[in-house]
Amino acid sequence: MGVEVSVEGLTKSFGSQKIWEDVTFTLPDGEVSALLGPSGTGKSVFLKSLIGLLRPEQGKIIIDGTDILQCTAKELYEIRKLFGVLFQDGALFGSMDLYDNVAFPLREHTRKSESEVRDIVMEKLELTGLTGAEGKLPGEISGGMRKRAGLARALVLDPEIILVDEPDSGLDPVRTTYLAQSLIDINAQIDATILIVTHNINLARTVPDNLGMLYRKNLVMFGPREMLLTSEEPSVRQFLRGSKLGPIGMSEEKDDAQMRAEMAEAEAGHNDGSPGGDELLGVPPQMQPTPGSPVRQGELRREKRVAEMLDTLPASAQKAIREEWSARGHGNGAVATAPAGAHAAPAGAHAAPEGAGDSGLDEHYGSDEG
């Protein structure tokens, strides 16, 4: 099973330039999370910090109970073995065929025999749909195949945490969907904690259990995906719609004069190509594992966890969660409220209005049953 990853008060700068500050949130064990944000907000820097390649000036990164900013080099080396990383371009060795690329971590970090290495490599190549391509060089295959080869390599050490940096980079929408399906299927099979950094709005709306967004050097919010997808926060709404109208500009933020000018253009009928006001609203169904895959244990844990915190979430997020669970047959007419001692609201969550206490959940999701 995947492990929980917690960051507390994390601050990172390069010289006098602050990248982000006081970032605090938790990646729940075995769940799929995604981190959004405009270009240049430090999302890739955040991934590198999680595995100890970059060192924030302040805060804590707690992985499986160990703060990697305070541990020894030997402890950090062991913690890194928990990770598998899929880089933006796959980061394959161009002179090695796919078999040797995928086998590389096993040969470097284990003492397995070549027969054992072969069994593991072929298993991961099959898992990522690359059986028969093991003899090809990276330059002889498509971008999508290179991504999947990078994913196979990330899986060979059976990681408990998988970091995915821009999985849609260089891929068409169809191949991006196939890769996203692979991530959901892998989560179902090995129950790893997964964090995806992406600009792809469709992927962000349909794949993760939890969503967060970095903007203006801060974490705008992080929590159950319904919280961000129903948010009225201007920067969140603008980013999800891909619109010019809002605080995000060509540089990270725009001034008031530019915002007023763009609003006046829109009111005068100028079409900036972004979706209409009624598009990309609401919460679409979440991607499910391929039929025949194991039940996602992370999804079951997530449902129970969210049920316990439901009354602390904004009313719009509560409504979206209840509707989704009802559509999936989790209602059966039974109603239960979140139990006493519910978890505190996630970072960025606003308190629910009074009178929003009835959750409308199946009794299972507010109980102590597994």
Q: Kindly report, residue by residue over 128-179, the tens digit of the pLDDT.
A: 889 999 999 999 998 888 888 999 999 999 999 999 998 888 788 888 888 8
Q: Where are the beta strands (DSSP E) in 28-88?
A: 32-36, 58-63, 66-67, 83-86
Query: How far is the C-alpha of 227 from the C-alpha of 212, rounded, in Å?
Result: 9
| Mean pLDDT of all residues in 265-278 | 58
pTM of the shown model: 0.81
| Mean pLDDT of all residues in 61-72 | 94
| Mean pLDDT of all residues in 278-291 | 80
Q: What is the DSSP string of 199-235?
A: --HHHHHHS-SEEEEEETTEEEEEEEHHHHHT---HH
Query: How far is the C-alpha of 88 from the C-alpha of 345, rounded, in Å?
Result: 32
pLDDT at 343 over 50: no
pLDDT at 12 over 70: yes
Which residues have a Cβ under 8 Å from the Cβ of 4 and sit 6 or more positions away? 26, 27, 28, 29, 64, 193
pLDDT at 333 over 50: no
| Mean pLDDT of all residues in 198-216 | 92
Which residues have a Cβ under 8 Å from the Cβ of 30 and sit 6 or more positions away? 1, 2, 187, 191, 192, 193, 297, 298, 301
Domains along the sequence of the chain with CATH: 5-215 (3.40.50.300), 231-281 (no CATH), 297-366 (no CATH)
What digits encode the pLDDT tens for the residues 14-37?
Answer: 999 999 999 999 999 999 999 998
